[in-house]
Amino acid sequence: MVAIVDYGVGNLFSLKSALDRIGMQAIVTGNAEKIKAADRMILPGVGAFGDAAQKLRAHGLDKVICDEAKKGKPLLGICLGMQMLFEKSYEYGEHEGLGLLAGSVVPMKDKLPQDLKIPHIGWNSLCFTGNAPSLLFQYIKNGDFVYFVHSFYADGCSDSLIATAEYGIPLTAAVQKGNVFGTQFHPEKSGETGLKILRAFCDA
């Protein structure tokens, strides 16, 4: 059973549908006991970092997720959910993240060549880093396309970086450290490739 953490941010219909499609039992829940009882956790999220982190804390779920992850339960953060795995975000101010991964979330503005648009919206190809691909990529190939929508990106995370996407600069596309996984892109919106990544997370 996969717990899709519901803390009142974003649209979870597609993610639940994608897990249904690959035959994974999943529940959308904000209940701490149900998250503890699940085998795996997915932390989704869209919108602003500060607001989302505050909602997660208001529901008391930040501690539950961190405790479960530290016990070894596989966790996948998606988009803003991935950004929240890090220590800090500088999205409109300075906000504390979950601190499960080293690094911080910074704006693309002023970092990209002038002619590139922000947000980074669309299908971009994955560039695996490191010697061997992460377990998350066991069913896909280097260079496969995934769907991104974001204006901020994770920086200073070389020890967990498993893939980048080229957009003037190499943007952090996916991270992993042990049982903690994160994708900046939306696997639930990335066609067959995305479903294979979700499958891999469920098998990891």
Partner 1 sequence: MITKRIIPCLDVKDGRVVKGVNFKGISDVSSPVELADYYSKNGADELVFYDITASFEGRKLFTDILKEVAKTIFIPLTVGGGINTLADFDRVLKCGADKVSVNSGAIKNPQLIYDAAKKYGDQCVVLSADIKRVNGAFHVFLNGGRIDTGMDAIEWIKKGVDSGAGEIVVNSIDTDGVKKGFDLPMLRAVCDAVSVPVIASGGAGGIDDFVTLFQTLPQVDAGLAASIFHFGEVTIPALKAVLKQNGIPVRIEREF
> By C-beta, is 17 or 25 nearer to partner 1?
17
Q: For residue 119, is the peptide bond before it cis, meaning its omega torsion is within 30 degrees of 0?
A: yes
Is there binding between residue 142 and partner 1 (CB under 8 A)? Answer: no
Smallest gap from Cβ 50 to partner 1, in A, equals: 13
Q: Which of residues 12-41 bind partner 1 (CB under 8 A)?
A: 13-14, 17-18, 20-21
Burial of 50 (0-12, 13-18, 19+ CB in 10 A): middle
The verdict on whether 79 is a catalytic residue reads: yes
Nearer to partner 1, 71 or 109 (CB): 109
Minimal distance in Å, beta carbon 121 to partner 1? 5
Pairing of strands 180-183, 75-78: parallel
Minimum distance of partner 1 from residue 118's CB (angstroms): 7
CB of 190 to partner 1, least distance (A): 7
Q: Does 166 bind partner 1 (CB under 8 A)?
A: yes
- E strand or H helix at 57, and its extent? helix 49-58
Nearer to partner 1, 85 or 165 (CB): 165
Catalytic choice (91, 150, 186, 202): 186
Q: Going residue by residue from 102 to 121, which x/- string records binding to partner 1, judged by CB under 8 A?
A: -------------x-xxxxx
Active-site residue flag, 188: yes
> CB pairs under 8 A, 24+ apart, for 168-175?
168/111, 168/112, 168/113, 168/116, 169/111, 169/112, 170/127, 171/108, 171/120, 172/103, 173/124, 173/126, 173/127, 173/146, 173/148, 174/82, 174/126, 174/134, 174/136, 174/137, 175/82, 175/85, 175/101, 175/103
Q: Which residues lie near partner 1 (CB under 8 A)?
A: 11, 13-14, 17-18, 20-21, 46-48, 115, 117-125, 144-145, 147, 149-151, 166-167, 188-195
Active site residues: 79, 186, 188
